[in-house]
Amino acid sequence: MASPLIKISIAATVLLAILFQIYLKEAVWLGFGINRTLQPLSEFPYRCRKIVHHQLEACEDMYLSHSTRQLFLACSDPIARKQWQPNVGYRNISGRSQRDAMVAVDIDKPIDNGFTFRVLKTPDFEGTAGDGLINLAGFSGIEQKNGDIDLFLVNLQPSIDADGNLADQHVHGGNATIEHFVTGPRATKMKHVRTYAHHGITTPNRVAALSDKSFYISNDHGSHKIGWRHHLSMILGFSDVTFCDTQNCRPVASNLQLPNGLAIRDNILYLPDSITGRLYIYRILPNKDLEKLDEVNLGYGVDNASIDENGDIWIAAFPIGVEIFKAYDDPYNAHPPSAVLRVRKIEGEYVVEKMLEDAEGEVLPAATTVVHDAKTGRLFLSISTQFHSTYVQPLPIIPIADSFDSTEMTIILLLPPLTSNTR
């Protein structure tokens, strides 16, 4: 007869197996790239060039203004990323970046070492307790008929106490807000319009603007800034999508695992989930609730989505998800692999194509955002933890200088294939 200890061990093993199948299997398979064959960049007919500048480091997210031909980037300090990212548990306030900034790149104005760009000033933004600082993550924009460009930025600012002093971030967590700025063509500065602060804005990853007074956010750890619920939210599904306007915020999609860089086009919201490796597709209803229409299995851990003028969805993907933490630890030397996926609807069905992969992370280490310029066919990729971003251009190539100071920011030029090479 089996002893009680053996029975308990068997029961525990069965329970763990069930829990693994329910909560962890997809995350483990995607996180470690199990059964995945990675393609080196050399298997794709691309050539790569780098453009570097210290003011374009650690750019988590991008937005392309089609009318003004400006590419906006949210840039930071790659070393500070490991110190202050409260959503992922980095809460060393003394290591908080002092130089986060929005940058506007003129993508139709190449120069010898890249493109002309401007670091946008924010003269009327007070920051946290008057420090004037902003700590950027995801953002989005919306263009107005009068030429204005509304930018909505996730600001991962620290918590303060009633006297305006910095609080204990390990006890209170961060105090994230959404900051609304307005800029325009040939931007040199941004005018601060409004700070959105609400208990529903807790762990925002990205904000997707719906109008100049409303938006959706992906709370990647739900309403839990600290504690065990924060740490287990991606396993137990505590995360959500929240809708906000000038009056209120409310959750409109719940029980998500790690909702990431959502995007909106034609009243449809596209939501990539980093843990499940799926793209969830919702219709925005008149009352701003979400109606789920479909989900697409991407087969990768994913980050931000963007939508080009053709309606194609471009998603930055991680072939081995856990490798991205190496980039946090050593942003100047780590080389996590990256991939670029395109999702489009063909004859009523969503089709996923791998457009690019860098198995060794030689040129595209841990890219977090990809933007496709449908006018020229170029791809722009940004990397949240490292000292460079990337751009990919079809033939003929625009000459770009090859020799730069590798301690500064990089944009990479890749020539896309004449024929598809996907696996």
Give dist(CA 207, CA 155) in Å, integer: 10
Q: 25-40 burial by CB neighbour count: b if 16+ within 10 A, else e?
A: ebbebbbebeeeeebe
pLDDT of 354 over the 50 cut: yes
Across the range 339-345, mean pLDDT stands at: 96
Q: Would you say residue 420 lies in a domain?
A: no
Q: What's the pLDDT band for 421 if we cut at 50, 70, 90?
A: very low
Q: What's the pLDDT band for 74 if we cut at 50, 70, 90?
A: very high
Give dist(CA 302, CA 176) in Å, integer: 23
Range of the domain at 338: 10-414
Give dist(CA 206, CA 204) in Å, integer: 6
pLDDT of 406 over the 90 cut: no
What average pLDDT does the structure give for the chain?
Answer: 86
Burial (CB < 10 A; 0-12, 13-18, 19+), residue 5, is: exposed
Give dist(CA 179, CA 127) in Å, integer: 10
More confident residue, 422 or 8: 8
What is the per-residue pLDDT for 38? Answer: 87
Across the range 51-58, mean pLDDT stands at: 84
Across the range 59-66, mean pLDDT stands at: 96
pLDDT of 9 over the 50 cut: yes
Q: What is the CATH number of the domain that holds 99?
A: 2.120.10.30
Q: Among 27-31, 58-62, 377-381, which stretch is predicted with the lowest mean pLDDT? A: 27-31
Phi, psi of 19 (to 5 degrees): -60, -40
pLDDT of 396 over the 80 cut: no
Domains held by the chain: number: 1
What is the per-residue pLDDT for 411? Answer: 43
Phi, psi of 16 (to 5 degrees): -65, -40
Q: What's the pLDDT band for 22 if we cut at 50, 70, 90?
A: low
The pairing of strands 338-346 and 349-358 is: antiparallel
Q: Which amino acid is residue 305, in one-letter code? A: A
Q: Would you say residue 25 lies in a domain?
A: yes
Q: Would you say residue 423 lies in a domain?
A: no
pLDDT tens figures, 193-237: 999 999 999 999 999 999 999 999 999 999 999 999 999 998 899
Give dist(CA 80, CA 98) in Å, integer: 9
Q: Look up residue 102 and give its two tokens.
A: 């929005």
Q: Would you say residue 220 lies in a domain?
A: yes
More confident residue, 23 or 89: 89
pLDDT tens figures, 255-303: 999 999 999 999 999 999 999 999 999 999 999 999 999 999 999 999 9
pLDDT of 5 over the 60 cut: no
* End-to-end CA gap in the chain: 53
Give dist(CA 175, CA 86) in Å, integer: 9
Q: Would you say residue 419 lies in a domain?
A: no
Across the range 6-22, mean pLDDT stands at: 54
pLDDT of 335 over the 70 cut: yes
Q: What pTM value is reported for the model? A: 0.88
Contact present, 327 and 386 (Cβ < 8 Å) = yes
Q: Would you say residue 5 lies in a domain?
A: no
More confident residue, 260 or 386: 260
Across the range 316-342, mean pLDDT stands at: 85
Q: What's the pLDDT band for 113 if we cut at 50, 70, 90?
A: confident
Closest listed residue to residue 138, CA positions, set 215, 73, 222, 234: 73
Give dist(CA 375, CA 363) in Å, integer: 24
Calculate what percentage of the chain has a pLDDT beyond 70. Answer: 82
- Cα separations in angstroms, 421 against 41, 43, 354, 356: 11, 8, 8, 8
What is the per-residue pLDDT for 153? Answer: 99
pLDDT of 11 over the 50 cut: yes
pLDDT tens figures, 322-333: 777 787 788 888
Give dist(CA 137, CA 205) in Å, integer: 7
Q: Would you say residue 72 lies in a domain?
A: yes
Q: Would you say residue 73 lies in a domain?
A: yes
What is the per-residue pLDDT for 241? Answer: 99
Alpha helices in 188-298 (DSSP H): 227-236
What is the per-residue pLDDT for 138? Answer: 97
> Which are the contacts of 292, defined by CB distance < 8 A and separation ≥ 6?
253, 280, 281, 282
What is the per-residue pLDDT for 187? Answer: 94
What is the per-residue pLDDT for 274? Answer: 94
What is the per-residue pLDDT for 418? Answer: 36
Contact present, 41 and 364 (Cβ < 8 Å) = yes
